[in-house]
Structure 1
Amino acid sequence: MARIVFSLLSLLCFCATAVAADDQRCRTFYDNQQTREALHHCLPLAAQGDGEASFILSSLYSQGFEGGSSDLKQALKWLTRSAEQGYAPGCYNLAALYDRGEVVPQDMAAAFRWYLEGAKLDHLASQLQTGLFYLKGKGVEQDYVQAHHWLAIAANRGDQRAQVTLATLLKATKPAESVKLFQRAAQSGNSYAYYQLALLFREPPAGISMNLNQALEYALESEKLGYQPAVDLVESIKQQQVLEEAHRVALAALTEAELTGVESSPAPAVETVIAEPVTPVDDVQAEDLASQTVPKESNQQSGPDEPSVETVASAASSATNDAQTETEAQKEVQTEVSLAERESTEVVVANSAVAPVEKRTVTPKTPAVKPLGDSSANTHSAATEANVDLAGLRDFTWLMAQPRQHYVLQLAQLSSDESVNAYLRDNKLQGRVNFFKAVTAAGNKYVVLYAESATSLQGAKQIAATELPKKLSGMVWFRTYHAIQNAYKPVD
């Protein structure tokens, strides 16, 4: 009896060794792009329930054999089998196809189901997507607790998108934890994380102390890494430092005068500049923002021993395009709220105090242009319109000719001709603004500026307080023309 048992164990060991050898050959031939040999060795393994072998077969059929055409039907068959056999990258890829509606009809519920399966199998990219689906309520009922759970797992494993998304969600409720997450992403070279850290230390929520020097360091690092909005933020923080120092000196002088008993006039009031828009972000938009600021890494968990996560050819092509798009977005994303969805202004709260009247500049009267609804609205026209007399559609030649150090009121960024017309009409601003089309963080937008500018920030604030409709006076971004000239690019 003992001999029989020993013989059976020996046979099992031999079979296991043979299977391992076949598995190694399957993978080796695939890695060496010997597709026919890979098919020969992988097919038996896949039939026996090997998820990785099924995954490789999916890739082989999607790519075609030795220059032949692809067979997406077979690719989908083996990818589905790979997922069903519990292979995490197979779960992720199948979910991605349902998510994008490629090869299969779009089905968010199916996408979520397979992302979740991959997440449970400890696949990093699947854990990120599971958190995002819970956050947005895509394919599953919205659940912030589950969203936080999966995003935290992905963030702790070093995923930048998860770190940035979770940090954004926690800014208001757990600012200290938010700072730590942004710092982790920043240490990985994330320019947007540096930018958010600068904002947090410049205008800190409860529990965090203001530190303008630290804020400036973060803003400069973000600028160095190519994040365009950081250019304005650096300028804003430097202005704020000057005013804070002036305020400190004024208070010190007043205190000294009181101690020595010398009468003195009241110290001048010094306002703190808030020249960078900080708009509330809701839970869903936080993910949109994060996805714009960190390129996707669909094969985050792929090491030297794992094939690319994107196995079906059409999915691979889409993933490449997504990564390129998000890399470009990383350089340009400007605010926490998607301007494309809101079609609204980048907002700051204007201080209520008003400085003495000073010299203002109004854009010289020029030939007006036809209303935006006209087909020729994108070019200047010699014809004039009665309802436009001071300002209208401009181009970059006009913008670059404006006095660089003057402060101007940026009112809005709008997507379409119709939205510009509606904005001007609703706020009774016809003939009182300049607007030009530019490449912005949210795409091609009309940037709307008030026609008058001032030589100082205080003068610009007075314009806002005295000349804008009340509902707009507190929703203005005070910027120098220099900052605007650097922030936008002309539309080709």
Structure 2
Amino acid sequence: MKQITLAIAFLMALTTSVLAQDYGKGFDAYQAGDYATALQEWRPLAEQGDAQAQSNLGAMYGFGKGVLQDDAEAVKWYRMAAEQGNASAQFNLGFFMYYTGNGFLQDYEEAAKWYRKAADQGHAKAQYNLALMYENGEGVLKDDAEAAKWYRKAADQGLAQAQFNLGVMYGNGKGVLQDDAEAVKWYRMAAEQGYAKAQFNLGNMYANGEGVLKDNIMAHMWYNIGSANGNDLGGKNRDKRAKEMTSEDISKATALARECMSSNYQKCGY
């Protein structure tokens, strides 16, 4: 009996190893843009019930990578993976299918359901999207405190959009006690990831002395950086701020902005 048990364990380990190798081949092929090989490796695994391979097939059909784009087929594979607890598939089923209505009638309640399943497993984008639904009252009752809770979970994982939105919640006192210093903290985290809206808002905080000491040089710096990253209001506010600054201070702010960006946001400020 012991020999039979050991034999079964060995076969299971061998099978798992082979499956992992096949999945790895598919992954390497996909990364190299060889979608036909990725599909060849992943489809048998998906048909055997491998949740990650099923999720990947869903993405391939959803985006038309190596196959004709087919929302219904994408939904089929996402659902198989999602029902096995695959967080990425749960998120994709919620977002691409139910929230946006690709391959299904738009259904915010169903989207929120799948976001929550993924969010409960720590999927940062699902946490962020669930927060948005609570903030906007889509598929769930509007609840700013619940929105702030889910933004924080995603923000703590480093998601810049969530950090920015949590900063806005603190700045406006929505779902949390109003706290400019806390708003600055979260804006800064997002800004240092290159998030232009956060860079603009951080410029505002320095310009108005909210949560930080008023500082035209730092305001100009962050407005300038936000503008460089595509925020049009950043450029307008930078130019307004410059009218209240000496040419020396403008030069200093410009040099600080250049250093901040060239250091990949590691050296931002005095």
| Alignment TM class, shorter chain as reference | 0.7 to 0.9
Matches within 5 A, 1:16-55: 16-28=16-28, 33=34, 35=36, 38-39=38-39, 41-55=41-55
Note closer, same or farther for the CA distance 1:69–1:9 as it changes in structure 2 (3 Å cut): closer
1:58 matched to which residue of 2? Answer: 58
Q: Which runs of 5+ in 2 are unaligned?
A: 173-177, 247-270
Aligned to 2:82: 83
Secondary structure, counterpart of 1:121 in structure 2: coil
Is the aligned partner of 1:198 residue 2:189? no
Q: Tell me how far apart the structure 1 counterparts of residues 151 and 132 of structure 2 sit (CA, whole Å).
A: 7
Are residues 1:137 and 2:137 paired? yes
Q: Structure 1 length as normaliser, TM-score?
A: 0.44
Q: Which position in structure 1 is the counterpart of 2:158?
A: 158
- Distance in 1, Cα, partners of 2:63 & 2:155: 33
Q: 1:189: which partner in 2?
A: 194
Determine the structure 2 residue equivalent to 1:171. Answer: 171
* Structure 1 residue 39: Cα displacement: 5.0
Task: Determine if the alignment matches structure 1 residue 217 to structure 2 residue 221.
Answer: yes
- Does the 8 Å CA contact 2:200/2:223 hold for their aligned counterparts? yes
Letter of the aligned partner of 1:184 in structure 2?
M
Q: Given the superposition, is the C-alpha separation of residues 63 and 156 from structure 1 closer, same or farther in structure 2, using an over 3 Å criterion?
A: closer
Separation in 1, partners of 2:30, 2:219: 50
How far residue 111 of structure 1 moved from its aligned partner, in angstroms, is 0.9
Alpha-carbon contact 2:199-2:223 (below 8 Å) kept = yes
**Which structure carries more helix by proportion?**
2
Identify if the C-alpha distance between structure 1 residues 200 and 56 changes in structure 2 by more than 3 Å, giving closer, same or farther.
closer
Q: Is the 8 A contact 1:26 1:53 kept in 2?
A: no
Q: Does 1:12 align with 2:12?
A: yes
TM-score under structure 2 normalisation? 0.75
Structure 1 contact 50–85 (Cα < 8 Å) conserved: no
Partner Cα separation in structure 2 for residue 220 and residue 148 of structure 1: 29
Deviation at 1:105, TM superposition (A): 0.3
What is residue 94 of structure 1 aligned with on the other side? 93
Amino acid in the other structure paired with 2:87 = A
Q: 2:55, 2:87 → 1: CA distance?
A: 10
- Indicate if the aligned counterparts of 1:39 and 1:57 stay in contact, CA closer than 8 A: yes
Q: Which residue of 2 aligns with 1:180?
A: 185
1:196 aligned partner, one-letter code = N
Q: Which runs of 5+ in 1 are unaligned?
A: 243-492
The structure having more radius of gyration, on CA atoms, is 1
Q: Deviations over 1:342-363 (max 9, x none)?
A: xxxxxxxxxxxxxxxxxxxxxx
Distance apart, 1:240 and its partner CA = 4.7
Q: Is the 8 A contact 1:57 1:75 kept in 2?
A: yes
Deviation at 1:178, TM superposition (A): 0.7
Q: Determine if contact 1:54/1:79 at 8 Å carries over to the other structure.
A: yes
Q: Could you tell me how far 1:179 is from its partner in structure 2?
A: 0.6
Contact 2:184 2:212 in 1 (8 A): no
Tell me the distance in 2 between the aligned counterparts of 1:25 and 1:235.
53
Residue of structure 2 in register with 1:120 after alignment? 120
1:12 positional shift: 2.8
User: Matches of 1:112 and 1:178 in 2, distance apart?
Assistant: 27
Query: Is the contact between residue 148 and residue 169 of structure 2 (CA under 8 Å) also seen in structure 1?
Result: no
Quickly say closer, same or farther: Cα 1:60–1:217, change in 2 above 3 A.
closer
Contact 2:71 2:102 in 1 (8 A): no
When you count strand as a share of all residues, which structure comes out higher? Answer: 1
Please report how far the alpha carbon of residue 238 of structure 1 lies from its aligned counterpart in structure 2 after TM superposition.
4.1
Indicate conservation of the 8 Å contact 1:30/1:56, yes or no.
no
Distance 1:196 1:42, change over 3 A: closer
